[in-house]
Structure 1
Amino acid sequence: MNRKGDDNGGKDCSEKKKMKVGGHWSQGLKASMHDPSLIVKQDELIVIIKDKYPKAKHHYLILPKADVRNLKALNIDHLSLLKHMQDEAKKLINGIESPSGFKIGYHAVPSMSQLHLHAISQDFDSPCLKTKTHWNAFTTEYFIDSEDVIRDVEKYGKVCCIDERSAKEILKKDLRCHICNESLKNMPKLKEHILVHMGKKNNS
């Protein structure tokens, strides 16, 4: 599998730009699904792409080819698709060496249209990780584990763990280390702090 492009050095991380050929930035994922430079793998049901603005050293998105807008659009008919997306995410990360490990999940209220499952390493080593919102989107309850989404759909026929008002408040939380829960003043301090953890992990 070609992993060329995982190095994020020098990447333009401005996410909220309009697409070059019409449309709004929130529709950008649909264009990325057809970008050969981003596609890692695909089959008849899903496409796996490298996140164009990765928030960690390894950051991938698993998207259905069918038009599924977001978590709210899910119902029992999507259960097999969700399981397939999760299985493919697990296969992908099992082939990647990452001392920090991975998490697989969804944003509670994503800004981008088209359902997408994140598979993201926990080093959070990327110049595209810039703001408190970025951080809290991946390290708090705003990031919903794939297993929890599948469990909801199996039990209730929909995803129940979404409260948009609460989700917005979660993104405003203070910065805290996802490993030791220490409070940090700003993103540069947080990134320095994480590097210490990653160094300990690599040397242990």
Structure 2
Amino acid sequence: MQDPKMQVFKDEKVVVIKDKYPRVRYHWLVLPWESISSLKAVKKEHLALLKHMHSVGEKIVQDCPDFSTLQFRQGYHAIPSMSHIHLHVISQDFDSPSLKNKKHWNSFTTEYFLESQDVMEMVERNGKVKVKDGTNELLKVPLRCHVCRRELTTIPQLKEHLKTHFPR
């Protein structure tokens, strides 16, 4: 968070950094300065912060040079890899050498990836985020193209297939 070379935006509430191991062409993390360990720790009082994080993510996307040609999503991993809440802002091309295994793929293309809008609605409605039981098992499901739903057996096959949807 502190490395200025990785920062692309900051204000009094959040900092946006480039993901150190991007799984897609454009992969940013929006992190609040406030210490919130995970989605399980989110309460209704955090709703304004979640909305701010989302709007900052939208701004980052709009400033992206490929904004008009790529689709983007914003969301959270149901079970995060680091203990500080962070919003992923990702392009949908999955064109990256850092995308190496099924777990990487499934963490962004199954319900393991909770859409930012859905998280905000959950907090607004219930005052907390509920992660479904068995969510971790989603990391093990077969590889499936997120565009056409075709099942593929290996990451190299999947990456080759994705070129049909996202030519460079």
Alignment partner, residue 97 of structure 2: 127
Alignment partner, residue 179 of structure 1: 147
| Secondary structure in structure 2 of the residue aligned to 1:144 | strand
Alignment partner, residue 42 of structure 1: 10
TM superposition shift of 1:173 = 0.3
| Secondary structure in structure 1 of the residue aligned to 2:30 | strand
Alignment partner, residue 169 of structure 1: 137
TM superposition shift of 1:113 = 1.0
Q: TM-score, normalised by structure 1?
A: 0.79
For 1:154, give the aligned amino acid: E
Q: Does 2:63 match 1:95? A: yes
Alignment partner, residue 140 of structure 1: 110
Alignment partner, residue 18 of structure 1: none
TM superposition shift of 1:100 = 2.8
Consecutive unaligned residues in structure 1, runs of 5 or more: 1-32
Alignment partner, residue 107 of structure 1: 77
1:52 to 4, 8, 20: 20
Consecutive unaligned residues in structure 2, runs of 5 or more: none
Percent identity over the alignment is 50
| Counterpart-to-counterpart distance in 2, 1:43 and 1:183 | 42
> Looking at CA atoms only, which structure, 1 or 2, has the larger radius of gyration?
1
**Residues matched between the structures, number:** 166
| Secondary structure in structure 2 of the residue aligned to 1:91 | helix
For 1:91, give the aligned amino acid: K
| Secondary structure in structure 1 of the residue aligned to 2:100 | coil
TM superposition shift of 1:166 = 1.2
| Counterpart-to-counterpart distance in 1, 2:22 and 2:49 | 24
- Aligned CA RMSD, in angstroms, stands at 1.0
Deviations 1:68-118 (A, max 9, x none): 001000001101000000000001101212423100000000111100000
Deviations 1:24-57 (A, max 9, x none): xxxxxxxxx1011111110010000000000011
Alignment partner, residue 124 of structure 2: 154
